[in-house]
Chain A
Amino acid sequence: MTHIAPLPKDAIVDPELRGLIAEAETLGVPDDLFPRILARAPEQAVPLMRALIMSHAQGNVDHGLKEIMRILLARFANDKYFASLRSAKARAMGLTEQRIDDGCFAYEDDAKGFSAAEKCALRYADLMFLDAGQLDKPFYDEMKKHWSEAQIMELGAFIAFHYGMQMFMRSLGAVPPA
């Protein structure tokens, strides 16, 4: 039970929000708990849900890589709710639990097979809330060797937004679905 109770699903009448919930349920991230809590702030719920789904499942960076980054962040945030969720789209693309664990805990290990670009992106997520001071000009120069500036903004905004929502869900005591 979260500190703030989610609204019952049938109490959500906004068709746009209901559509986004259905879209998220198909993706698997988030399930209906997050938007049913968010629905208590209806003016924020639609844009936040849209940003959450768009930043994760759309854009110009590989979705499987962003799924690993999302789980890495959720584990760092100690948010058991988002850390437990998995993208059906990423799974269909071939992402395995082993690959997720390798990406979270051993991405710098050459034997794990992450490309230089993927290592850089995972380092970005790893360091953002661990030691942002290391995300300095040399780091961004290295990022630019592998990613366009548009992709770097996509990754940075994705990291910032998902981590923020993960910390919010952690604060509510959200737990993985049964």
Chain B
Amino acid sequence: MSVNPDAVDAVFFNELRRHYSDDEIVELGVFIGFNLGYHTFFGTLKFYPMFSPDGRLVSQAESEKLYGAAPVSLGKAEAAE
């Protein structure tokens, strides 16, 4: 839906229907649309996790130092330790 929306065609929906009901496909579709929009928006705001990997509440400035110049997942931060 995000990278190649033209590929989400009738053939694709027929494949989806082999695994999910129409109701579940709607639930998945709006979930994807919602996240597609908001993750892009949030990415422009450049905010960082409120908590350090050890669970301390930290300022955005400290969080940026902890997590790097670009937002990364906690999993990546832990792997880097």
Contact = CB atoms under 8 A, between A and B. Distances in A.
Interface of A: 3-5, 37-38, 40-41, 44, 48, 78, 128-129, 132, 135-137, 140, 156-157, 159-168, 170-173
Interface stretch (B34-42, B51-59, B61-69, B72-80): B34-42
Contacts of B29: 4, 168, 171-172
A40 B33 contact: no
Given A37-B26, A168-B29, A129 B40 contact: yes
Given A3-B13, A4-B26, 8 more contacts: A4-B25, A40-B23, A44-B27, A48-B30, A156-B45, A160-B38, A162-B37, A164-B32
A132 B22 CA distance: 33
A110 B2 CA distance: 33
Contacts of B37: 159-165, 167
Nearest to B41: A160
Interface of B: 1-2, 5, 8-10, 13, 22-23, 25-27, 29-38, 40-41, 43-46
A113 B2 CA distance: 34
A147 to B, nearest CB: 14
- Chain B interface, >50% SS class: helix
Contacts of A137: 46
B8 to A, nearest CB: 4
B5 A170 contact: yes
15 contacts: A4-B25, A40-B26, A129-B40, A132-B40, A156-B41, A160-B38, A160-B40, A162-B37, A164-B30, A165-B33, A165-B37, A168-B29, A171-B1, A171-B8, A172-B29
A78 B5 contact: yes
Contact of B33 (A4, A129, A156, A167): A167
